[in-house]
Structure 1
Amino acid sequence: MRALLAKGREAGALGRGEVAQALADVELAEGELEELHRMLEAADVDLVDDDDLAPGDGPEPTTPAPAVAAAAESILLDPGPDGLAIFLRRIGRVPLLTAEQEVQLSRRIERGDLEAKRVMIESNLRLVVSIAKKYRGLGMPFLDLIQEGTIGLVRAAEKFDHRKGFKFSTYSTWWIRQAISRALADKSRTVRIPVHVGEQLNRLRRAERKLSSELARDPLPDEIAEEAGVPIEQAELLWRAAETPASLNQPLAAGEDSELGHLIADTNAESPHDRAVESTTRSDLEEALSRLTYRERRLLELRFGLAGEQPHTLESAGRVIGVTREHARRIETGALARLEALARDGALLADERVAA
Structure 2
Amino acid sequence: MSRKKEVENVENLENVEKIESLESLENVEETNTKASKKDKNESTTVSKIDQIVNSVKDKGKIDYSELAAQLGNFSPEEMEKLFDKLEKLNIQVANETVDIDDEEPNIEDLEEVEDLDIEDVNIDTLEGISVDDPVRMYLREIGKIPLLSFEDELKYAKLSYEHDEAAKQKLTESNLRLVVSIAKKYVGRGMLFLDLIQEGNMGLIKAVEKFDYTKGFKFSTYATWWIRQAITRAIADQARTIRIPVHMVETIYKLIRTSRHLFQQNGREPTPEEIAVEMEIPVEKVLEIQKIAQDPVSLETPIGEEDDSHLGDFIPDDDSPSPQDAASYTMLKEQLNEVLETLTPREAKVLRLRFGLDDGKARTLEEVGKEFSVTRERIRQIEAKALRKLRHPSKSKKLKEYM
TM-score range, shorter chain: 0.5 to 0.7
Residue 300 (1) aligns with residue 358 (2):
no
Q: Name the structure 2 match of 1:22.
A: 78
Q: Name the structure 2 match of 1:340.
A: 392
Please state how far the C-alpha of 1:105 moved relative to its aligned partner: 1.6
Please state how far the C-alpha of 1:319 moved relative to its aligned partner: 6.7
Please state how far the C-alpha of 1:97 moved relative to its aligned partner: 2.1
Aligned equivalent of 1:97, options 148, 151, 154 = 148
Query: Are 1:79 and 1:85, in contact at CA under 8 Å, matched by a contact in 2?
Result: no
Matched to 1:258, the amino acid is S
- Cα deviation, 1:50-103, whole Å, max 9, x if unaligned, reads xxxxxxxxxxxxx822xx335674369867444333222211221222222222
Percent identity at matched positions?
36
Residue 183 (1) aligns with residue 212 (2):
no
Query: Are 1:149 and 1:176, in contact at CA under 8 Å, matched by a contact in 2?
Result: yes
Query: Are 2:200 and 2:231, in contact at CA under 8 Å, matched by a contact in 1?
Result: yes
Q: Name the structure 1 match of 2:56.
A: none
Mapped partners of 1:27, 1:334: distance in 2: 81
Q: The residue matched to 1:27 in structure 2 has which SS?
A: helix
Structure 2, unaligned runs of 5 or more:
1-40, 49-71, 85-92, 97-104
- Cα deviation, 1:290-317, whole Å, max 9, x if unaligned, reads 456xxx244332344356695768x959
Mapped partners of 1:166, 1:311: distance in 2: 85
1:1-356 to structure 2, matched below 5 A, reads: 3-5=43-45, 19-27=75-83, 37=111, 48=114, 64-65=117-118, 68-70=119-121, 73-74=124-125, 80-162=131-213, 166-205=217-256, 221=272, 230-253=281-304, 255-290=306-341, 296-305=344-353, 310=363, 333=385, 337=389, 340=392, 342-343=394-395, 349=398
Matched to 1:22, the amino acid is E
Q: Name the structure 1 match of 2:59.
A: none
Instruction: Give the TM-score of the pair, scaled to structure 2.
Output: 0.60
Please state how far the C-alpha of 1:179 moved relative to its aligned partner: 0.5
- Cα deviation, 1:297-352, whole Å, max 9, x if unaligned, reads 44332344356695768x9599789xxx69x96998489548725337xxx64665
Kindly report the root-mean-square deviation, in angstroms, between the aligned alpha carbons of the 2 structures: 4.6
Q: How many residues align?
A: 313
- Cα deviation, 1:3-40, whole Å, max 9, x if unaligned, reads 435889xxxxxxx99945433444397869765639xx
Mapped partners of 1:211, 1:173: distance in 2: 32
Matched to 1:300, the amino acid is A
Sort the Cα spacing of 1:229 and 1:332 in 2 relative to 1 into closer, same or farther, 3 A: closer
Please state how far the C-alpha of 1:203 moved relative to its aligned partner: 4.1
Mapped partners of 1:24, 1:94: distance in 2: 25
Please state how far the C-alpha of 1:241 moved relative to its aligned partner: 2.1
Instruction: Give the TM-score of the pair, scaled to structure 1.
Output: 0.67
Q: The residue matched to 1:182 in structure 2 has which SS?
A: helix
Structure 1, unaligned runs of 5 or more:
9-15, 39-46, 50-62
Mapped partners of 2:74, 2:390: distance in 1: 103
